[in-house]
Amino acid sequence: MVFFSSCRVSSPKLCGSVVFVAKKQQQCVIAIANRCITSKAMREGLPPVSKPPPFPYKEKRYNFFRALFDPTTSRLDENSKLIVVEGPPAAGKGVLAKELADDLGMAYFPSPTVAETYINDYGYDLRQLDDQMPDSCKSYDENDFLKDPMRLNGAKAARFQLSKFALRYKRHLEALAHILNTGQGVVIDRSPYSDLVYITAMAEIGIVSKNVYNYYHSVRNNSLFALWRPHLVIYLDVPVAETRRKIEARNRPYEKDSKMATPEYLQSLIDSYKKDFLKDISTHAEVLVYDWTKPANTEIVVEDIERVNFDQYGIYDAKMKDWRCYDKWDWNNNRQVFTHSQHYLMAHLNVPPIKCPEVAINGAEYKIYETIKDEAPGNKYAKGFNTEMGDKGLLFKLS
């Protein structure tokens, strides 16, 4: 049996007594001494900490010469942590993650969507080209997945889930880059580590084949080693019946009547969360589990987070292993890789589907797709060089 560092909240209550406040203030001192995460409220009244301003990593390149005068560790503090909020659909992950980020002074990274990838840099929606595309290359976003998960015998659903994994992988890289360049912690809605629960549930109810399931895991095993796992995972536990009720209440297009919202699928999803994801991630990260049938006050969760001591583990412990570097140059090198070598790390996702032809697209059809896509408004050249979209062009950039 695996035991999780967990806190279940069944009937959360706020305590407003003076005694509680005094104890909380005393606890704050211990938390800071133990390098625990502290909220913005806890930091009020404390002297400001002197550290460099956030490095503009999206505009400037972090290289060897900058590293000489800008060591990564100079920005890191007790709040330079990666927190992931997990749970079944409609649990309220995004709402809680956003509120936690605000209370803790961290950045909120929402869960990415496939639909976003169809909008290019100029706002043109590539889904408008579907009538020109072969069936295998037509767009397939979240609504399509809910509406028709068995399209092309499940091949579209298989590619969709692989795309979701790739998007979450990239979002995780962006979170790591943000922490190491700014020192600000990140609260993220879901992660690539938990994505396996969806492919597991899809395989169990017959949406994808065992062949696809095995290929997905080959991609997963070939890529996740390059990332750093989160410091803390917060799992919102919601029973299937309540999950169904919430799905019906939010009334998203095609969702409540979808095969991907049946009690059988949701139960498989929740079982995989507990059996596969939480069991594995708890070997590295701290885990807080909440009964979220009735959402608790965010302040309760913040207080629980402040009690977690992330520095209690030694150099040989598996917990927090990913976040221990040999020296300042090991920190600097990892910062450079996560920031400027994301395309190389993303290449780990490119596992040839030799034994899984259903996820591949016919070469002739893919060529048609590429030709049509490249001729779309704003797609002919890189951003900034498409004169038909109002860009000034190369001569302006060189002047």
Tens of pLDDT, residues 327-344: 999 999 999 999 999 999
What is residue 47's predicted lDDT score, i.e. its pLDDT? 85
Tokens 């639909």 locate to 115
Point out the residues of the chain with pLDDT beneath 70: 1-35, 393-399
Phi, psi of 388 (to 5 degrees): -70, -15
- The predicted-structure confidence for 266-314, as pLDDT tens digits, reads as follows 999 999 999 999 999 999 999 999 999 999 999 999 999 999 999 899 9
| Distance, CA of 341 to CA of 336 (rounded, Å) | 7
Instruction: Report the predicted TM-score, pTM, of the whole model to 2 decimal places.
Output: 0.89
What per-residue confidence (pLDDT) applies to 301? 97
Given this model, what pLDDT does residue 395 score?
55
C-beta separation of 99 from 290 below 8 A: no
Domain 77-379: which CATH number of 3.40.50.300, 3.30.565.10, 3.40.50.2300, 1.10.1740.10? 3.40.50.300
pLDDT for 44 equals 86
